[in-house]
Chain A
Amino acid sequence: MPAELDPDLIGGWGRTALTAGYVRRGVRAEQVPEILSDSSLFPDRGVVARGLGRSYGDPAQNAGGLVLDMTALDKVISFDGQTGTVHTEAGVSLDTLARVLLPTGWFLPVTPGTRQVTVGGAIAADVHGKNHHRDGSFGRYVTRFGLATADGTVREVSPETEPALFWATTGGMGLTGVMLDATIRLIPVQTSSMLVDTVRAADLDQLLVALEQADHHRYSVAWLDCLARGRHMGRGVVTSGEHATHDQVPVAGPTSRSFAPRAFVGAPSWVPTGLLNRASIAAFNQAWYRKTPRSRNDELQGIGAFFHPLDGVRSWNRLYGPRGLLQYQCVVPDEGSLRAVLDRISTAQAPSFLTVLKRLGPGTPGPLSFPRPGWTLTLDFPVETPGLSGLLDGLDRIVAGSGGALYLAKDSRMAPDLLAATYPRLAEWSELRDRVDPHRRLRSDQSRRLSL
């Protein structure tokens, strides 16, 4: 290891399983091929790219190895207002893109729960958003990218020219190479406001019906109270929305597309263990449910409030205290499995602060891409929740048995055999990776943990 570098202790957004890696900051695109092909640099520990560190688990850290901080690649290279495409460096955040693009009448085709992710990270995780049931995941809108691979070359990759490498990289968690730049197709919008419908559902049956009914909206999602028991199990709130048009906002014109969101507050830097516990989470869930009107239509909301409410609180992950949080996101194809999963959580009374349910549509051809048709459920648990390991192992079995899967961008605890059981095209992905990186130059703690 180079003596001039001291390792940094780094982790994911869940702040669990921190390890020490050598972080190279201010990386420029032309240095990346050289770093990858120089096998004297961390020969047995490898390299991984890191963006804004919003993966919950361990994909953007590399114990004892090199971590390339990609956020210095922060330039929007060009924008074509005729075709609605943008060419950016891979370290540009979706937040930056939204700020730059919205005033011109264009928006991101897919926006995940936070804007604080990089373009490279969004492709590596093939992120999805509230429009997945209609529009699919991020990878579908990527027309090409430049990928530095382990042999020190930079490859021009598109679904037409190199489909296998393109789709192995989309959802490939950074293990096929280091992305340098990408071109993305955008969607036109008239304003930066959303027209939002809200429906409260008293139980799971009502919630599922309300979500299905919301399918015709471009965006839809449900929040639910995972601690509600018995006949209240699955009660929650469905919100759905569309981009508002000129005639739907009070003052039409260029200013109606302005977008300059700010974080209102930050979480304090130190929070005791156990602030978020079963009692406080139950109280929050109860209050959140009660404060929602039974039904409300055509409410105007800003894009930030609709898509990224948590971006309003900087470092909200710190609220879980020094031990951190574990996010569990699964997809199951059928309602029966979803019920089985929710039933177990409700019975165990495992407190999830934010529980989100969403319908997913067809996935992309990416062998490691997460979305597939069905229901996706996302839960946030404090790590110290008693019995959490056994509960989640039980959920894993339901998910695997149903033909579902866990999302690698959220995963921080699954066992390697579960990955093989739930990603049936894993062998195809591994074969491609063997070709493009035979000596495992690209490695992360997640790749070690999952034997990826």
Chain B
Amino acid sequence: MMNALGEPQSLGVLGGTSQIALAVTAKLCDGRTRTVVLAGRDPSALEAAQTSAREAGATHVRTLGLDALDTDSHQATVDAMFAEGDLDVALLAFGVLGDQLAAEADPDLAVNVAQVNYVAAVSLGLRVATAMRRQGHGTLVVLSSVAGERARRSNFVYGSSKAGLDAFAQGLGDSLRGTGVRVIIIRPGFVRTRMTTGLPDAPMSVNAADVAAAVEKALVGSKDIVWVPAGLRVVMSGLRHLPRPVFRRLKI
């Protein structure tokens, strides 16, 4: 159970091998979290994630296979996550960045981005929400992105998938008012991880550990939408209101 200070005892991660997921897991295990369920695609990466969760202080760690593209398998995955007891927090951390120019040339690549980042998140998010409603409590933490705030010319396939995810998560959170289940949306800016290796550092970029710290803080607090770093909220509010002809010309 989550305690009075918003410190969870159990955590389930969808996309448990991503660097942000690893950082969040480590951060929460440094507190009260002892039970961790990691769902991911790559068995050897899951093995490593399991070891790192143990090293961070988790005492009960399980791993599960997750195929984001196979929505038919999602119910079984979520059932298995919750099979051994309540989960106080579920982190929806999977996602792909994709290559914008390649995706424009090959629409199948764009579909893949949309299916992983949006379709799979809708499928899994709703199933997790139902499991949490049944247990009467829980927090679903959704990793959105600042890229979803306004789609950019240079990254609109990824950006639009995150825009869909973000809108979905907002509505889901509203629908869960009064059920004991909460949805927190994390909107990081540029995070220096494997996913962004080779890309030039953007202004206000952060590390996975900064995102983890923001997640921990959000669990204690009452804000349901969290920008990382916090200053991005103001910056993005400005960008959002730029006239399109101006926005289009910005080199971002």
Is B196 engaged at the interface, CB distance under 8 Å to the other chain? Answer: no
Known: A20-B178, A63-B180. A413 touches B5 (CB 8 A): yes
Across the interface, do B7 and A63 meet the contact criterion of CB distance under 8 Å?
no
Q: How far is the CB of A237 from chain B (nearest CB, A)?
A: 28
Judged by a CB distance under 8 angstroms, whether A45 is at the interface is: yes
Are B180 and A19 neighbours in the complex by a CB distance under 8 Å? yes
Would you give the 0/1 interface string for A61-96, flagging 1 where the beta carbon is closer than 8 Å to chain B?
011110000000000000000000000000000000
CA distance A446 to B222 in the complex (A): 22
Please tell me if A389 contacts chain B, counting CB pairs below 8 Å: yes
Determine which of A7, A389, A414 lies in contact with B179 in the assembled complex, contact meaning CB atoms within 8 Å: A7
- Say yes or no for B2: interface residue by CB 8 A criterion: yes
What residue in chain A is nearest B2 (Cβ atoms)?
Answer: A17
Q: Is the CB of A326 within 8 A of B5?
A: yes
| One of A20, A62, A413 near B4 (C-beta < 8 A) | A413
Bitwise interface map of B from 154 to 184 toward A, beta carbon under 8 Å scored 1, else 0: 0000000000000000000000001111000
Given the complex of chains A and B, what is the CA–CA distance between A338 and B137 in angstroms?
Answer: 36
Could you say which of B2, B9, B137 has the most chain A C-beta atoms within 10 Å of its C-beta? B137
Inside 8 A of B3's CB, which chain A residues have their CB? 16-17, 412-414, 449
A58 contacts B by Cβ under 8 Å: yes
Tell whether A448 is near chain B: CB-to-CB under 8 Å. Answer: yes
Q: Is the CB of A63 within 8 A of B32?
A: no
**B residues near A383, Cβ cutoff 8 Å:** 4-5, 220
Asked, given contacts A45-B136, A326-B4, A449-B1, whether A7 binds B31 with beta carbons under 8 Å apart, the answer is no
A252 an interface residue at 8 Å Cβ cutoff? no
B112 on interface, CB distance cutoff 8 Å: no
Give A445's nearest chain B residue, CB to CB. Answer: B1
Chain B residue nearest to A413 in the complex (CB): B3
- How far apart sit A110 and B32, CA to CA, in the bound complex (Å)? 36
Kindly state whether residue B248 has any CB partner on chain A within 8 Å: no
Does A18 lie at the interface of the complex (its beta carbon under 8 Å from any beta carbon of B)?
Answer: yes
CB-CB under 8 A from A273, the residues of chain B are 222
B88 CB to closest chain A CB, in angstroms? 9
Residue pair A412, B4 in contact (C-beta under 8 Å): yes
Contact A17 B136 (CB under 8 A): no
B5 adjacent to A389 (CB under 8 Å): yes
- Set of chain B residues within 8 Å of A9, measured between Cβ atoms: 178-180
Q: For window 352-406 of chain A, which residues contact chain B by CB distance below 8 Å?
A: 383-384, 388-389
B240 at the interface (CB under 8 A from A): no
Chain A's nearest CB lies how many Å from the CB of B118? Answer: 28
B191-221: CB near A (< 8 Å → 1, else 0) gives 0000000000000000000000000000011
Q: Is the CB of B137 within 8 A of A19?
A: yes
| Interchain CB contact (< 8 A) of A323 among B32, B134, B222 | B222
What residues of chain A lie closer than 8 Å to B135, measured between beta carbons?
A: 45, 63-64
A236: B residues at CB distance < 8 A: none
Bound-state CA distance A389–B219 (Å) is 13
Question: Quick one: closest A residue to B32, CB to CB?
Answer: A415
Within 8 Å of chain A (Cβ to Cβ): is B149?
Answer: no
| A324 to B2 alpha-carbon distance, docked (Å) | 15
Report the minimal beta-carbon distance from B174 to chain A, rounded to whole angstroms: 15
**A172–B120 CA distance with the chains assembled, in angstroms:** 45
Chain A residues whose CB sits within 8 angstroms of the CB of B178 once the complex forms:
9, 20
Q: Please classify how large the interface on chain A is, using the bins under 10, 10 to 19, 20 to 34, 35 or more.
A: 20 to 34
Assembled-state Cα–Cα distance A191/B32 (Å):
50
For the complex, what is the distance from the CA of A200 to the CA of B170, rounded to whole Å?
Answer: 55
Across the interface, which residues of A come within 8 angstroms of B9, CB to CB? Answer: 449
List A contacts of B179 (CB < 8 A). Answer: 7, 9, 20
B1-53 interface (Cβ within 8 A of A): 1-7, 9, 31-32
Residues of B contacting A324 in the complex (Cβ-Cβ under 8 angstroms) = 4
Q: Does B86 lie within 8 Å of A20, measured CB to CB?
A: no
Decide if A57 is an interface residue (CB 8 Å cutoff). Answer: yes
Question: Within 8 Å of chain B (Cβ to Cβ): is A302?
Answer: no
Least CB distance, A75 to chain B, in whole angstroms: 31
Report the nearest B residue to A63, measured CB to CB: B136
| Residue numbers in B under 8 Å from A388 (CB-CB) | 5
Specify which chain A residues have a CB less than 8 angstroms from the CB of B221 in the assembled complex: 384
Q: Is A152 close to B, CB under 8 A?
A: no
Q: Which residues of B contact A63 (CB under 8 A)?
A: 1, 86, 135-137, 180
A21 contacts the other chain (Cβ, under 8 Å)?
A: yes
Determine whether A322 belongs to the interface, using a CB cutoff of 8 Å to chain B: yes
Complex CA gap A384/B217 in Å reads 11
- B111 shortest CB reach to chain A, Å: 38
Render A113-152 as a binary contact track against B, CB cut-off 8 A, 1 for contact. Answer: 0000000000000000000000000000000000000000
Q: Output the nearest chain B residue to A450 by Cβ-Cβ distance.
A: B1
Instruction: Give A9 to B9 CA distance when docked, in angstroms.
Output: 20
Inter-chain contact A64/B137, CB cutoff 8 Å: yes
Is A14 part of the binding interface, using a Cβ–Cβ cutoff of 8 Å? yes
Q: How far is the CB of A406 from chain B (nearest CB, A)?
A: 12
Q: How close is B91's CB to chain A, nearest CB, in angstroms? A: 19
Interface membership of chain A positions 312-327, coded 1 if the CB is closer than 8 angstroms to chain B and 0 otherwise:
0000000000111010
Taking CB atoms, residues of chain B closer than 8 Å to A326 are 4-5
- Interfacial chain A residues near B181, Cβ < 8 Å: 20
Give bound CA distance, A389 to B178, whole Å. Answer: 26
- A319-356 with Cβ < 8 A to chain B: 322-324, 326
**Chain A residues in 8 Å Cβ range of B31:** 389
| Interface contact A20-B7, CB-CB below 8 Å | no
- 15 sample A-B contacts, Cβ–Cβ < 8 Å, listed by A number: A7-B179, A7-B180, A16-B3, A17-B6, A17-B137, A45-B136, A63-B86, A64-B134, A64-B180, A322-B222, A389-B31, A445-B1, A445-B137, A449-B1, A449-B3
**9 nearest A-B residue pairs (beta carbon):** A63-B136, A64-B136, A20-B180, A412-B4, A16-B4, A449-B1, A19-B137, A413-B3, A20-B136
Interface residues of A (CB under 8 A from B): 1, 7, 9, 14, 16-21, 45, 57-58, 62-65, 273, 322-324, 326, 383-384, 388-389, 412-415, 445-446, 448-449
Instruction: Give B contacts to A, CB under 8 Å.
Output: 1-7, 9, 31-32, 86, 133-137, 178-181, 220-222
Sample of 19 more A-B contacts, CB < 8 Å, known A19-B180, A58-B4, A63-B180: A7-B136, A7-B180, A14-B4, A19-B1, A20-B133, A21-B136, A57-B4, A62-B136, A63-B135, A64-B134, A64-B135, A65-B136, A324-B4, A383-B4, A383-B220, A384-B220, A448-B86, A449-B3, A449-B9
